[in-house]
Structure 1
Amino acid sequence: MEKKTLRHLELFAGIGGFRKAIDLYSNDNNIISKCVGFSENDKFAIKTYKSNFDTSSEVEIGDIKDFTCDVANIKSLPDFDLLTGGFPCQPFSMMGKQKGLDDSRGNIFYNIIDILLVKKPKYVLLENVRNIKSHDKGRTYKEIVRSLEDDAGYKVFSDIFNTSDFGLPQNRRRVFFFAIRKDIFKNPIVFESDVIKDANVHLKKSTSLETYKNVLDKLLEERVDEKYYLSERIKPTILSNGTKNFKSKSEINQLIARPLTATMVKMHRACQDNYYSDEFLKHPNPIEYLEKDIPKEVQAKHRIRKLTPLEALKLQGFDDSFYLKATKAGVSNHQLYKQAGNAVSVNTVYSIIHHLFEKNIIKL
């Protein structure tokens, strides 16, 4: 029996989270995964991407705004079944100025529509920060759905997915949009995080995904370089609950990590980033250790470290081999932190793709 082929285009590729998930799913289910092209501007992300994927026969789109300016460029793309992409989230993030679709980066969303209007793939899977649903009193979200449905001709479904529900111990909530071309949309579709999460409990046992119960489950390294440990000077700042203008609870040793950020290399307070002490990691019973109420002044005397780039990538579903290929290609730790913080979680995408195939929603 001839293998079926899933042809896909990865936009705003970063280090290839969507592609990694599709490759893993395809390999597990006797499908050929064929990426016809990808877009990415960051030269360091491209280096990591190319060190892990063979892109020699693919269209390297580069700057999507420049590429879509000429419709001939879009027409030259090989046909594909699925368009994926985590379009820039800064315009919608709670951390930014939240200009949304008025922001030049936000306008890049419409370049997706440009491609859909010409190539008309059957399916679309997009990701963004959860704040996009409430941004500008919901108007940004409604405009995204309107553009996909009314302008491009798709039926759109969406929900918020938490990475921690899919075998990766990181509280990372993101909105995923799934769109199916209206002319092939026949039956009602269930695209709900809870449904896909429940199915994922059984899925993890029969896939090549890397999964972890918590950060202690073969994720955090036992020994790391001294450079990852915090200095005596910075520990009080990291552990601080803030000032009168900024108050929040700073805690270290989280079993389920906080959401990774693209700026984690700079080190924020422990209410924003992830830090772990040797006292916790090397304790005979780390769970029991967490039940102790240890004062901040005592914690400040402990040996505390940040995540390593490898650990950050593993929290997003990438394996040791992925990390090693990137470092061998000369990608710095600084860039790897940024890339991990910007990445889409591999396991979440895998679970979504599995659901769409299992329910016969995606047909090849």
Structure 2
Amino acid sequence: MRYIELFSGIGGFRNAADHLTVDTDQPFECIAFSEIDRHAKSTYLANYNTEGEVQMDDIISFTDEKKNIENLPDFDLLLGGFPCQAFSLLGKQLGLEDERGKILFSIHEILKEKQPEFVVLENVRNIIKHDKGKTLELIINFFREHKYKYVNYVVLDTQSFGLPQRRSRIFFVCSKKELEIELTEEAIVRNFNNIDHHGLHTYSNVLDILGKDADQKYYLSEKIKHTILDGGSKNFWSKSQIDLDIARTLTATMVKMHRACQDNYYSDDYILTGQSHMDTSKEVLFKKPVRRLMPSEALKLQGFDQVFFDRARAAGVSEHQLYKQSGNALSVNTGYALLHYLFVHLRIQD
């Protein structure tokens, strides 16, 4: 199955597709990818064999030239994440003048010219409620207008697929032919749990990921520890907890080290002995060694392995950028579970 990956980031979908090619009798071949962020692209190029593939880079500039789209090899499947703001602008007069509107127009041009049989796109779960549901309706109608007879979505949580992170994302599945399938989280999780063998990395909890010899630079200083472990002010207060077995959702801004009600922090007691301080008072925690996630650990929480991290670092990608890329990434195992369900278990392409 030939595919392109739009807004590829560090290749969450591609990593999943590569695993499926090795694990199953359904091969996937990437023929083109787009990513505008040069740091993410460096990580991508360091980890995947992209020889002979079309590097679309900025999708807006690429689709401005009609010949670029015409010269794209035919493909069966369009994969990727997408900026939800582009769809929220659909009904506004200035939508296509806006940069995000131009992204939507780029997707439109590719679909119109290449007519891929299937589309699988990922976004944040909150898009369901965005603008009182109007954005969701616009997205569904957009694909129906492009002659996709089956347009549906499912919300999947990363922690259901062997990665100890709470991360719910919405996935849109579109097909040119009518499908009578059960597209539910329950069915996809059930199928994933019944897979006999796969090459994915899975972990029962964060302890399976945390390294026991982290450099001192990852530990919180006494000064910042008081801010991070604090619950906030009377205007904004949320319970700060560390040592969570299932990590909070990774964010692209985790490098800024938000409070412990938003980001993930771990004590040496937890890392070395398994003793959790999840409900320990902050006054006691102030005296304990506590650290942030290392970027390699953040990547592992998204399904990428140590080799992936090492290759990115060897290519000159900074730890700062790898934190950002981890927070933006599609969880490999989640992408794998969905693609396996659709194209290996149900074989909707047949």
TM-score where L is the length of structure 2? 0.94
Q: Is the 8 A contact 2:16 2:335 kept in 1?
A: yes
Q: Is the 8 A contact 2:161 2:334 kept in 1?
A: yes
Distance 1:171 1:106 in 2: 30
What is aligned with 1:350? 336
Q: Is the 8 A contact 2:26 2:343 kept in 1?
A: no
TM-score where L is the length of structure 1? 0.90
Cα 1:12–1:294, aligned 2, differ >3 Å: closer, same or farther? same
1:11 matched to 2:2: no
Q: Deviations over 1:190-238 (max 9, x none)?
A: 21111111222222x5100000111112x11111111100100000111
Alignment-mate amino acid for residue 190 of structure 1: E
The alpha-carbon deviation at position 151 of structure 1 amounts to 3.3
The alpha-carbon deviation at position 30 of structure 1 amounts to 3.5
Alignment-mate amino acid for residue 196 of structure 1: I
The alpha-carbon deviation at position 171 of structure 1 amounts to 0.2
What is aligned with 2:183? 191
What is aligned with 1:104? 99
The alpha-carbon deviation at position 320 of structure 1 amounts to 1.0
45-54 or 152-161, larger mean C-alpha shift: 152-161
What is aligned with 2:192? 200
Q: Is the 8 A contact 1:189 1:361 kept in 2?
A: no
Q: Deviations over 1:162-191 (max 9, x none)?
A: 00001100000100001101xx32x41221
Q: Deviations over 1:262-308 (max 9, x none)?
A: 0100100011100000011112xx2xx33884211101111010000
1:125 matched to 2:105: no
Cα RMSD (Å) of the superposition? 1.8
107-116 or 238-247, larger mean C-alpha shift: 107-116
1:157 matched to 2:137: no
Q: Is the 8 A contact 1:88 1:106 kept in 2?
A: no
Cα 1:18–1:252, aligned 2, differ >3 Å: closer, same or farther? same
What is aligned with 1:247? 237
1:339 to 314, 322, 325: 325
Q: Is the 8 A contact 2:242 2:266 kept in 1?
A: yes
2:18 to 23, 40, 59: 23
What is aligned with 2:56? 61
What is aligned with 2:272? 282
1:363 matched to 2:349: yes
Distance 1:349 1:210 in 2: 13
- Partner of 1:246: helix, strand, or coil? coil
Distance 1:291 1:300 in 2: 12
Q: Which runs of 5+ in 2 are unaligned?
A: none
What is aligned with 1:86? 81
Distance 1:7 1:331 in 2: 29
Residues 172-321 of structure 1 correspond to what in structure 2 (within 5 A)?
172-181=167-176, 184-185=177-178, 187-203=179-195, 205-217=196-208, 219-283=209-273, 286=274, 289-290=275-276, 293-321=279-307
Cα 1:154–1:338, aligned 2, differ >3 Å: closer, same or farther? farther
Distance 2:301 2:272 in 1: 20
- Partner of 2:207: helix, strand, or coil? coil
2:139 to 131, 144, 149: 144
Distance 2:17 2:192 in 1: 16
2:164 to 144, 169, 190: 169
Cα 1:161–1:239, aligned 2, differ >3 Å: closer, same or farther? same
Cα 1:291–1:338, aligned 2, differ >3 Å: closer, same or farther? closer
Distance 1:42 1:303 in 2: 35
Alignment-mate amino acid for residue 159 of structure 2: S
The alpha-carbon deviation at position 152 of structure 1 amounts to 4.4
Cα 1:291–1:247, aligned 2, differ >3 Å: closer, same or farther? closer
Q: Is the 8 A contact 2:242 2:278 kept in 1?
A: no
Distance 2:120 2:278 in 1: 44
Alignment-mate amino acid for residue 8 of structure 1: Y
Alignment-mate amino acid for residue 258 of structure 2: H
Q: Which runs of 5+ in 1 are unaligned?
A: 1-5, 93-97
Cα 1:169–1:134, aligned 2, differ >3 Å: closer, same or farther? same
The alpha-carbon deviation at position 107 of structure 1 amounts to 5.0
What is the percent sequence identity of the aligned residues?
A: 50
Give the number of equivalent residue pairs: 344
The alpha-carbon deviation at position 106 of structure 1 amounts to 5.7
Distance 1:8 1:165 in 2: 26
